[in-house]
Amino acid sequence: MMARRGLAVFLIALLAVPATASPSTGSPAVAVPIGTISQSDATNVGGAGALPGTTVFSGDTIEVGPRGSAWILMNGGRNVRLSSDSRIRLVEPVGGANRVEMEIFSGAARFRSGEKATVVARLADATVRAKGTQPAVGLISVVSRNLAIVGAEQGELLVSTAHDGRSLTLREGDAWYRIFQGRWRSAVSLHKSIQRTKKKLVSGERLAELE
């Protein structure tokens, strides 16, 4: 089991966007390989069953079933691990050979950005990325359509939400953070509630799968 460093957790309220919205500023005209499935259990890529060694192309949707898991390796020291019941899409934007955008629709994901090759996570109108050029490891778990848990396992993460123009830096080992569309009283109440019941939350269980 991978040792867990100090973890900062951020409850982030999301403004829902259409499911068809693209996380990228553009898609290449030809298929571009961006990674390889290293570990696979109950996993589909582009609607087909994926075994270890399966190539992941820009624009592919990766789905993990109940009790499944997946690990995607990319160049530059980047990787993405998915828990059970997860669904993401990976896109390399046109002209962005050193950046992969991961749109997460459900479940939980652990991602690692390298020094020169990054992973930018998108969920609804929020983005999560490494701050600066140092490697960083982040954890994201979708709680509901409008709420997600974001954690900084290693390094610093910059979390930004478009609907309220807010940005926050999560530092490794920080205390819990929370935000709920600017209504801090509701945020604190929600934060305490999740602390009391985090072991019972499906989202918490999915994060534990990524340890």
Question: Per-residue pLDDT tens for 118-168?
Answer: 999 998 888 999 998 899 999 888 888 777 888 888 899 998 888 778 888
What is d(CA 77, CA 75) in angstroms, rounded to the nearest whole number?
6
pTM above 0.85, yes or no: no
At 202 the pLDDT is: 53
Extract the runs of DSSP E, i.e. beta strands, from the chain.
8-13, 33-45, 48-49, 55-57, 61-73, 79-82, 86-91, 99-106, 108-113, 118-123, 126-130, 136-144, 147-154, 156-161, 166-171, 177-179
In 3D space, the residue among 105, 108, 111 whose CA is nearest the CA of residue 123 turns out to be 105
Element spanning 203, H or E? helix 202-209
- The DSSP code for 109 is E
- The DSSP code for 54 is P
Question: Per-residue pLDDT tens for 6-60?
Answer: 455 566 666 654 444 444 444 455 789 999 999 999 999 999 999 999 999 999 9
Q: Are 129 and 98 in contact (CB under 8 A)?
A: no
Q: Are 144 and 14 in contact (CB under 8 A)?
A: no
Residue 63's CB: how many other CB atoms inside 10 A? Answer: 22
Q: Which residue has the higher pLDDT, 193 or 111?
A: 111
Classify each residue of 139-162 as buried b or exposed e, where b means 16 or more C-beta atoms within 10 Å of its C-beta: bbbbbeeebbbbbbbbbbbbbebe
